[in-house]
Structure 1
Amino acid sequence: MRAPTEITVHQQSRVLEIAFDDGARFRIPFELMRVYSPSAEVMGHGPGQEVLQTGKRDVLITGLEPVGHYAVRPEFSDGHASGLFTWDYLHKLGSQQDALWAEYGAKLAAAGKARDDAMPVKGGGNCHSH
Protein backbone atom coordinates (compact mmCIF):
# COMPACT_ATOMS: atom_id res chain seq x y z
CA MET A 1 0.00 0.00 0.00
CA ARG A 2 1.59 3.25 -1.09
CA ALA A 3 1.44 6.31 1.08
CA PRO A 4 2.19 9.97 0.44
CA THR A 5 5.21 11.53 2.07
CA GLU A 6 4.11 15.07 1.29
CA ILE A 7 0.93 16.85 0.18
CA THR A 8 0.89 20.52 -0.75
CA VAL A 9 -2.08 22.56 -1.91
CA HIS A 10 -0.91 25.25 -4.36
CA GLN A 11 -3.71 27.82 -4.58
CA GLN A 12 -1.91 30.06 -7.12
CA SER A 13 -1.33 27.35 -9.68
CA ARG A 14 -4.41 25.36 -8.62
CA VAL A 15 -2.62 22.04 -8.26
CA LEU A 16 -2.28 19.50 -5.50
CA GLU A 17 1.33 18.41 -5.28
CA ILE A 18 1.75 14.96 -3.84
CA ALA A 19 4.87 12.88 -3.30
CA PHE A 20 4.68 9.14 -2.66
CA ASP A 21 6.97 6.79 -0.80
CA ASP A 22 7.75 5.02 -4.11
CA GLY A 23 9.46 8.22 -5.28
CA ALA A 24 6.64 9.35 -7.57
CA ARG A 25 5.65 13.00 -7.43
CA PHE A 26 2.63 14.46 -9.16
CA ARG A 27 1.00 17.85 -9.61
CA ILE A 28 -2.71 17.18 -9.99
CA PRO A 29 -4.88 20.09 -11.16
CA PHE A 30 -7.82 20.88 -8.85
CA GLU A 31 -10.07 20.80 -11.91
CA LEU A 32 -9.08 17.22 -12.70
CA MET A 33 -9.71 16.20 -9.09
CA ARG A 34 -13.08 17.93 -9.13
CA VAL A 35 -14.35 16.43 -12.39
CA TYR A 36 -13.15 12.96 -11.34
CA SER A 37 -14.29 13.25 -7.72
CA PRO A 38 -14.99 9.71 -6.47
CA SER A 39 -18.32 10.77 -4.93
CA ALA A 40 -21.87 9.61 -5.63
CA GLU A 41 -22.65 13.17 -6.73
CA VAL A 42 -20.16 12.81 -9.62
CA MET A 43 -19.88 9.06 -10.20
CA GLY A 44 -23.56 8.23 -9.70
CA HIS A 45 -24.64 4.93 -8.23
CA GLY A 46 -23.66 2.73 -11.13
CA PRO A 47 -22.19 2.69 -14.63
CA GLY A 48 -23.76 5.20 -16.96
CA GLN A 49 -25.00 7.34 -14.07
CA GLU A 50 -21.96 9.60 -13.95
CA VAL A 51 -22.76 13.30 -13.84
CA LEU A 52 -20.54 15.17 -16.28
CA GLN A 53 -18.93 18.10 -14.46
CA THR A 54 -18.35 21.38 -16.29
CA GLY A 55 -17.23 24.88 -15.40
CA LYS A 56 -14.65 23.66 -12.89
CA ARG A 57 -11.52 25.24 -14.39
CA ASP A 58 -11.32 27.89 -11.65
CA VAL A 59 -12.34 25.71 -8.73
CA LEU A 60 -10.13 25.95 -5.65
CA ILE A 61 -9.47 23.56 -2.80
CA THR A 62 -10.48 25.45 0.32
CA GLY A 63 -9.80 22.65 2.79
CA LEU A 64 -8.19 19.24 2.95
CA GLU A 65 -9.27 16.88 5.67
CA PRO A 66 -7.36 13.66 6.39
CA VAL A 67 -9.51 10.54 6.57
CA GLY A 68 -7.84 7.80 8.57
CA HIS A 69 -4.46 6.87 7.14
CA TYR A 70 -5.74 6.12 3.68
CA ALA A 71 -7.42 9.17 2.14
CA VAL A 72 -8.13 12.91 2.14
CA ARG A 73 -11.42 14.72 1.67
CA PRO A 74 -10.92 18.01 -0.16
CA GLU A 75 -13.40 20.83 0.17
CA PHE A 76 -13.83 22.63 -3.13
CA SER A 77 -14.78 26.28 -3.53
CA ASP A 78 -18.03 25.29 -5.29
CA GLY A 79 -19.22 23.57 -2.12
CA HIS A 80 -18.43 20.02 -3.21
CA ALA A 81 -16.94 18.10 -0.29
CA SER A 82 -18.17 14.51 -0.48
CA GLY A 83 -15.32 12.93 -2.44
CA LEU A 84 -12.91 10.63 -0.60
CA PHE A 85 -9.61 10.55 -2.44
CA THR A 86 -7.60 7.48 -1.42
CA TRP A 87 -3.85 7.43 -1.91
CA ASP A 88 -4.28 4.92 -4.75
CA TYR A 89 -6.85 7.12 -6.45
CA LEU A 90 -4.62 10.20 -6.19
CA HIS A 91 -1.73 8.15 -7.60
CA LYS A 92 -4.00 7.14 -10.49
CA LEU A 93 -5.09 10.75 -11.14
CA GLY A 94 -1.46 11.85 -11.09
CA SER A 95 -0.02 9.07 -13.23
CA GLN A 96 -2.86 8.96 -15.79
CA GLN A 97 -3.52 12.69 -16.18
CA ASP A 98 -3.12 12.76 -19.95
CA ALA A 99 -5.50 9.86 -20.50
CA LEU A 100 -8.02 11.28 -18.03
CA TRP A 101 -7.99 14.72 -19.68
CA ALA A 102 -8.51 13.06 -23.06
CA GLU A 103 -11.39 10.99 -21.69
CA TYR A 104 -12.94 14.11 -20.14
CA GLY A 105 -12.64 15.94 -23.46
CA ALA A 106 -14.29 13.03 -25.26
CA LYS A 107 -17.16 12.95 -22.75
CA LEU A 108 -17.69 16.70 -23.14
CA ALA A 109 -17.73 16.38 -26.92
CA ALA A 110 -20.15 13.46 -26.79
CA ALA A 111 -22.50 15.46 -24.56
CA GLY A 112 -22.20 18.58 -26.72
CA LYS A 113 -20.82 20.47 -23.74
CA ALA A 114 -17.87 22.80 -23.29
CA ARG A 115 -15.39 22.62 -20.46
CA ASP A 116 -16.44 26.04 -19.17
CA ASP A 117 -20.22 25.57 -19.41
CA ALA A 118 -22.02 26.29 -16.16
CA MET A 119 -23.37 23.24 -14.35
CA PRO A 120 -27.16 22.91 -14.59
CA VAL A 121 -28.85 23.74 -11.31
CA LYS A 122 -30.14 20.54 -9.75
CA GLY A 123 -33.82 20.47 -8.90
CA GLY A 124 -34.58 18.30 -5.87
CA GLY A 125 -33.56 14.67 -6.40
CA ASN A 126 -30.42 14.81 -4.28
CA CYS A 127 -29.29 11.38 -3.23
CA HIS A 128 -28.20 12.21 0.30
CA SER A 129 -31.01 10.22 1.88
CA HIS A 130 -29.24 6.87 2.07
Structure 2
Amino acid sequence: MTAPIPTNVHYHQQARELELTYPGDERHRLPCEYLRVFSPSAEVRGHGKGQETLQVGKKFVGLKDITPTGRYALKLHFDDGHDSGLYSWDYLWWLIQHREANWAEYLERLEAAGASREPLGIQIRQL
Protein backbone atom coordinates (compact mmCIF):
# COMPACT_ATOMS: atom_id res chain seq x y z
CA MET A 1 0.00 0.00 0.00
CA THR A 2 1.25 3.47 -0.80
CA ALA A 3 -0.33 5.85 1.63
CA PRO A 4 -0.36 9.61 1.25
CA ILE A 5 2.16 11.45 3.39
CA PRO A 6 0.75 13.97 5.86
CA THR A 7 1.58 17.61 5.17
CA ASN A 8 1.03 18.45 8.84
CA VAL A 9 0.78 16.62 12.15
CA HIS A 10 -0.79 18.35 15.14
CA TYR A 11 -1.57 17.10 18.64
CA HIS A 12 -4.72 18.47 20.26
CA GLN A 13 -3.79 18.10 23.92
CA GLN A 14 -7.18 18.77 25.53
CA ALA A 15 -9.03 16.45 23.15
CA ARG A 16 -6.15 13.92 23.24
CA GLU A 17 -6.30 13.55 19.46
CA LEU A 18 -3.63 13.45 16.77
CA GLU A 19 -4.65 15.38 13.66
CA LEU A 20 -3.10 14.42 10.35
CA THR A 21 -3.52 16.78 7.40
CA TYR A 22 -3.05 15.37 3.92
CA PRO A 23 -2.73 16.99 0.48
CA GLY A 24 -5.90 18.80 -0.52
CA ASP A 25 -6.45 19.80 3.12
CA GLU A 26 -7.94 16.37 3.97
CA ARG A 27 -7.87 16.08 7.77
CA HIS A 28 -8.26 13.12 10.08
CA ARG A 29 -8.22 13.13 13.88
CA LEU A 30 -7.30 9.94 15.71
CA PRO A 31 -7.85 9.61 19.47
CA CYS A 32 -4.76 8.72 21.47
CA GLU A 33 -6.62 5.80 23.01
CA TYR A 34 -7.18 4.33 19.53
CA LEU A 35 -3.54 4.87 18.59
CA ARG A 36 -2.36 3.32 21.87
CA VAL A 37 -4.50 0.17 21.74
CA PHE A 38 -3.51 -0.36 18.09
CA SER A 39 0.19 0.33 18.64
CA PRO A 40 2.33 -1.43 16.05
CA SER A 41 4.80 -2.47 18.77
CA ALA A 42 5.62 -6.09 19.50
CA GLU A 43 4.56 -5.38 23.10
CA VAL A 44 0.98 -4.90 21.85
CA ARG A 45 0.81 -6.92 18.63
CA GLY A 46 3.08 -9.77 19.67
CA HIS A 47 5.23 -11.59 17.14
CA GLY A 48 2.45 -13.30 15.24
CA LYS A 49 -1.26 -13.97 14.92
CA GLY A 50 -2.85 -14.77 18.27
CA GLN A 51 -0.04 -13.22 20.33
CA GLU A 52 -1.67 -9.81 20.70
CA THR A 53 -1.99 -8.31 24.18
CA LEU A 54 -5.37 -6.71 24.83
CA GLN A 55 -4.82 -3.16 26.02
CA VAL A 56 -7.15 -2.14 28.83
CA GLY A 57 -7.68 1.04 30.84
CA LYS A 58 -6.39 3.39 28.12
CA LYS A 59 -9.42 5.69 27.88
CA PHE A 60 -7.56 8.79 29.12
CA VAL A 61 -4.11 8.16 27.64
CA GLY A 62 -2.41 11.11 25.96
CA LEU A 63 0.87 11.95 24.27
CA LYS A 64 4.00 13.40 25.83
CA ASP A 65 5.93 13.74 22.59
CA ILE A 66 6.00 12.92 18.88
CA THR A 67 9.28 12.11 17.17
CA PRO A 68 9.61 11.96 13.38
CA THR A 69 11.48 8.85 12.25
CA GLY A 70 13.13 9.36 8.91
CA ARG A 71 10.65 10.27 6.19
CA TYR A 72 8.40 7.30 6.77
CA ALA A 73 7.04 7.22 10.32
CA LEU A 74 6.29 8.80 13.68
CA LYS A 75 7.26 7.52 17.09
CA LEU A 76 4.53 8.37 19.59
CA HIS A 77 5.47 8.77 23.25
CA PHE A 78 2.38 8.08 25.34
CA ASP A 79 1.95 9.44 28.85
CA ASP A 80 1.49 5.90 30.23
CA GLY A 81 5.15 5.22 29.38
CA HIS A 82 4.56 3.31 26.15
CA ASP A 83 6.85 4.50 23.37
CA SER A 84 7.81 1.46 21.34
CA GLY A 85 6.53 0.93 17.84
CA LEU A 86 6.80 3.09 14.78
CA TYR A 87 3.65 4.44 13.16
CA SER A 88 4.54 4.39 9.46
CA TRP A 89 2.57 6.53 7.03
CA ASP A 90 1.07 3.31 5.64
CA TYR A 91 0.02 2.13 9.09
CA LEU A 92 -1.49 5.49 10.06
CA TRP A 93 -3.45 5.55 6.80
CA TRP A 94 -4.64 1.99 7.47
CA LEU A 95 -5.79 3.07 10.96
CA ILE A 96 -7.73 5.94 9.38
CA GLN A 97 -9.33 3.76 6.71
CA HIS A 98 -10.34 0.96 9.12
CA ARG A 99 -11.13 3.00 12.20
CA GLU A 100 -14.78 2.01 12.65
CA ALA A 101 -14.21 -1.72 12.14
CA ASN A 102 -11.05 -1.73 14.28
CA TRP A 103 -12.80 0.08 17.13
CA ALA A 104 -15.86 -2.21 17.03
CA GLU A 105 -13.62 -5.28 17.14
CA TYR A 106 -11.63 -3.81 20.03
CA LEU A 107 -14.79 -3.13 22.06
CA GLU A 108 -15.97 -6.70 21.40
CA ARG A 109 -12.63 -8.09 22.60
CA LEU A 110 -12.82 -5.95 25.76
CA GLU A 111 -16.34 -7.17 26.50
CA ALA A 112 -15.41 -10.82 25.89
CA ALA A 113 -12.49 -10.43 28.31
CA GLY A 114 -14.64 -8.70 30.92
CA ALA A 115 -12.25 -5.75 30.69
CA SER A 116 -12.77 -2.01 30.48
CA ARG A 117 -11.45 1.10 28.76
CA GLU A 118 -11.48 2.78 32.19
CA PRO A 119 -8.19 2.90 34.11
CA LEU A 120 -8.08 0.72 37.19
CA GLY A 121 -6.66 3.45 39.41
CA ILE A 122 -3.82 3.13 41.86
CA GLN A 123 -2.80 -0.39 42.74
CA ILE A 124 -2.44 -0.98 46.49
CA ARG A 125 0.13 -3.55 47.41
CA GLN A 126 -0.67 -5.61 50.47
CA LEU A 127 2.17 -6.43 52.82
Paired AA for residue 95 in structure 1: Q
Unmatched runs of 5 consecutive residues or more in structure 1: 122-130
1:24 matched to which residue of 2?
A: 26
In structure 1, distance between residues paired with 2:15 and 2:118: 18
* Runs of 4+ residues over 3 Å off in structure 1: none
Report the more deviating stretch, 22-31 or 80-89: 22-31
TM-aligned CA deviation for residue 118 of structure 1: 3.5
**For residues 76-128 of structure 1, what are the alpha-carbon distances to aligned partners after superposition, in whole Å with 9 as ceiling and x for unaligned?**
00000002001111112122221111010011112121222549x9xxxxxxx
Say whether residues 1:13 and 2:15 are aligned partners. Answer: yes
Aligned partner of residue 34 in structure 2, secondary structure: helix
TM-score by length of 1: 0.85
TM-aligned CA deviation for residue 42 of structure 1: 0.3
1:116 matched to which residue of 2?
A: 118
1:39 matched to which residue of 2?
A: 41
In structure 2, distance between residues paired with 1:79 and 1:65: 15
1:70 matched to which residue of 2?
A: 72
8 Å contact from structure 1 (residues 26, 95) kept in 2: no
Report the more deviating stretch, 95-104 or 20-29: 20-29
RMSD: 1.8
In structure 1, distance between residues paired with 2:111 and 2:37: 15
Unmatched runs of 5 consecutive residues or more in structure 2: none
Say whether residues 1:97 and 2:99 are aligned partners. Answer: yes
**% identical aligned pairs:** 47
Assess, with a 3 A threshold, how the Cα gap between structure 1 residues 40 and 22 changes in structure 2: closer, same or farther: farther
